[in-house]
Amino acid sequence: MNKGRRAFIQGAAVVGAGLVAAREASGVPQQNVDDMHDMQIMPGMKTKGKKDTAHDNGPFVPVETPDVPNLPFRMDGDIKEFHLIAEPVKQEINPGRIVDVWGYNGSAPGPTIQVNQGDRVRVIVDNHLPEPTSMHWHGFEVPIEMDGAPGSSQEPIPPGGRFVYEFTLRQEGSYFYHSHMAMQEMMGMIGAFIMHPKQPYKPRVEKDFLIILQEYAILPNITVPNSMNMEFNWLTFNGKAGPATTPLIVRRGERVRIRLINLGMDHHPIHLHGHQFVVTGTEGGRQPESTWGPGNTVLVGVAQSRDIEFVANNPGDWMLHCHLPHHMMNQMSSNVGPMSRRPGMPAGVEMERGMGIMKQGSPLSEENGSSLGRGMGVGSTAEQLMANTPLSPHKAAAASERQEKQEPMEGMHMGALQVSKDANAVPGFPQDAFMESPMMAMDKMVDKPENFGLRPGWSGFMQGMTTFVRVLPADKYDQIMQLREKQRGKKPMQMDMPGMEHHHE
Ligand SMILES: [Cu+2]
């Protein structure tokens, strides 16, 4: 770490002390700072001092981005100065599934920036990638030189280079920043940029959450997304796929806002159980109240943001998820062909076989049995035969025998497989039997305060873009908040910027 950066960090630490969650040396983001108390010491934020937000009469609560840190800043006169570093990131999107993506300051999506409408903002962008990049401020009404369009509004930032963006922000709403290099976008390079309004929104919310929707094509046994692939098998909320996502914790009766931001190749219909909501904002800011109609599913298109609001008056652990069926799954990859699930695939085979190109038969046939689901092991490290069509009786028998013998991975508790005796005689079997079931449960592996008290085995049915909105009675809510405090107390307070503890130099 060089001297200049250290000095900068120390400067940032003075104003941003306590903002940043501790991280592990691996660069895998820890849980979010999550608690808003810390955010309230950010200078310039018009919130009141440290107190219970549920009883806070301040104009707004800061935005909470589960599993993603907030980006601290320092004041340079009247300018809020942020520092973003574009860099490779190792990210654990599911227990044991650590992938090589690209992001900012050790996180993909990058840290959340929060400013106030009217602020003068400077963002120093350093490029620690092995190729040029450029930062685009999506939807910002800023001078063309600050737009980050590579080649037209500025030269791309070369590897090792820096570009300093500076602008005054007149807008309000849920905005975001992203690399304006298309393939880099598919490697994770986006982050949220919240502009809090001068005139607080009405009605006031007690909880304000943010979720960034992303998707990756990462074939089994590989850690690098294939950014050219158009079939996505890892669908994430804030860089985590269910069951590793962090539930949104709400006290019964609170008014809740959830900001959804999408950058990828698909539009996501995000569905909430148990509550009606209204869409109160888009990527263009607050919408007039006359446009708010009730719904329970909001389509968040690529490059869009949507704010939804509702009163959490229905107690329970309610699912919040993308409703595209394949987006509620992990590790789906039917285009792998014989490369996985085929014991004994030799290395150095001829090109067609090596690339999974079939010479004969259907890709779903028994012979070419494609890879389905995350299989029997996290990260699909286990090879096993499975086709999406009926197997011949002897192969089916052999397969289920293998299944029964398979040892569960550590932390997974394999429940009984509930299939009927003649299951293999039914065309179409299996569908979810080996993909979503108590067999898939990994409650312990994803244990965290926010999951406390969920129904045992819950994690066997949460994949992809899924999480919970937990609408809790006061006592249970308080209990989880205490657990969180306790967990945070155990970690040393980091006086560093997120991701800075990697040693690049
Ligand atoms: Cu989706």
- Cα 441 to ligand 1 centre (Å): 22
pLDDT tens digit sequence for 207-242: 999 999 999 998 777 899 988 888 899 999 999 999
- Cα 465 to ligand 1 centre (Å): 7
- Cα 445 to ligand 1 centre (Å): 25
Q: Above 50 in pLDDT, residue 36?
A: no
Q: Above 60 in pLDDT, residue 74?
A: yes
pLDDT at residue 433, rounded to an integer: 77
Average pLDDT over residues 433-461: 87
- Cα 321 to ligand 1 centre (Å): 8
Residues forming a β-bridge with 102: 88
pLDDT at residue 427, rounded to an integer: 80
- Cα 338 to ligand 1 centre (Å): 27
pLDDT at residue 7, rounded to an integer: 39
**Rounded to an integer, what distance in angstroms lies between the CA atom of residue 138 and that of residue 148?**
9
Peptide bond into 220 cis (omega under 30): no
pLDDT band with cut points at 50, 70 and 90 for residue 400 = low
**Rounded to an integer, what distance in angstroms lies between the CA atom of residue 227 and that of residue 187?**
7
pLDDT tens digit sequence for 241-278: 999 999 999 999 999 999 999 999 999 999 999 999 99
Peptide bond into 62 cis (omega under 30): no
pLDDT at residue 394, rounded to an integer: 63
- Cα 359 to ligand 1 centre (Å): 33
- Cα 395 to ligand 1 centre (Å): 34
Average pLDDT over residues 448-470: 94
pLDDT tens digit sequence for 292-303: 999 999 999 999
Sign of the torsion formed by the C-alpha atoms of 440, 444, 449 and 453: positive
Q: Above 80 in pLDDT, residue 199?
A: yes
**Rounded to an integer, what distance in angstroms lies between the CA atom of residue 495 and that of residue 400?**
52
Structure tokens at 365: 């046939």
Q: Above 60 in pLDDT, residue 83?
A: yes
> What HEC string does 109-154 produce?
CEEEEEEECCCEEEEEEEECCCCCECEEEECCCCCHHHCCCECCCE
pLDDT band with cut points at 50, 70 and 90 for residue 404 = low
pLDDT at residue 229, rounded to an integer: 82
- Cα 402 to ligand 1 centre (Å): 33
Per DSSP, the three-state class of 268 is: strand
pLDDT band with cut points at 50, 70 and 90 for residue 333 = low
Radius of gyration, CA atoms only, the chain: 23
Q: Above 50 in pLDDT, residue 100?
A: yes
- Cα 329 to ligand 1 centre (Å): 10
What would the DSSP string read from start to end of 291-339?
G--EESEEEE-TT-EEEEEEE--S-EEEEEEE-SGGGG-SS-BGGGGGG
- Cα 268 to ligand 1 centre (Å): 4
- Cα 241 to ligand 1 centre (Å): 12
Phi, psi of 18 (to 5 degrees): 85, 0
- For residue 397, the tally of other CB atoms under 10 A from its CB is 12
Q: Above 80 in pLDDT, residue 365?
A: no
- Cα 266 to ligand 1 centre (Å): 7
Ion ligand 1: residues, CB within 5 A, are 268, 322, 324, 327
- Cα 63 to ligand 1 centre (Å): 23
- Cα 267 to ligand 1 centre (Å): 6
pLDDT at residue 491, rounded to an integer: 57
- Cα 87 to ligand 1 centre (Å): 26
Average pLDDT over residues 86-95: 96
pLDDT band with cut points at 50, 70 and 90 for residue 437 = confident
- Cα 479 to ligand 1 centre (Å): 33
pLDDT at residue 46, rounded to an integer: 39
Structure tokens at 488: 């945070």
pLDDT at residue 325, rounded to an integer: 92
Specify the range with the lowest mean pLDDT, choosing from 59-63, 86-90, 145-149, 174-178: 59-63
Average pLDDT over residues 415-437: 76
Pick from 190, 237, 245: nearest CA to 210: 237
Average pLDDT over residues 333-340: 48
Pick from 403, 424, 427: nearest CA to 415: 403
**Rounded to an integer, what distance in angstroms lies between the CA atom of residue 482 and that of residue 489?**
10
Q: Interior CA angle at 393 toward 391 and 399, to 5°?
A: 65
pLDDT at residue 337, rounded to an integer: 46
Residue type, 272: L
Pick from 227, 218, 217: nearest CA to 131: 227
32, 246 contact by CB (below 8 A): yes
Average pLDDT over residues 2-19: 37
Between 320 and 432, whose confidence is greater?
320
**Rounded to an integer, what distance in angstroms lies between the CA atom of residue 210 and that of residue 213?**
10
Phi, psi of 354 (to 5 degrees): -60, -35
- Cα 243 to ligand 1 centre (Å): 16
pLDDT band with cut points at 50, 70 and 90 for residue 349 = low
306, 282 contact by CB (below 8 A): yes
- Cα 236 to ligand 1 centre (Å): 9
**Rounded to an integer, what distance in angstroms lies between the CA atom of residue 39 and that of residue 33?**
9
Average pLDDT over residues 123-128: 98
pLDDT at residue 84, rounded to an integer: 98
Q: How far is CA 72 from the centre of its chain?
A: 20
pLDDT tens digit sequence for 141-166: 999 999 999 999 999 999 999 999 99
pLDDT band with cut points at 50, 70 and 90 for residue 429 = confident
pLDDT band with cut points at 50, 70 and 90 for residue 26 = very low
Residue type, 487: Q
pLDDT tens digit sequence for 276-286: 999 999 999 99
pLDDT at residue 231, rounded to an integer: 84
Residue 4's Cβ-side half-sphere holds a number of Cα atoms within 13 Å equal to 2
pLDDT at residue 380, rounded to an integer: 41
Average pLDDT of every residue of the chain: 79
Q: Above 50 in pLDDT, residue 436?
A: yes
Q: Interior CA angle at 31 toward 489 and 257, to 5°?
A: 110
Specify the range with the lowest mean pLDDT, choosing from 191-195, 295-299, 407-411: 407-411
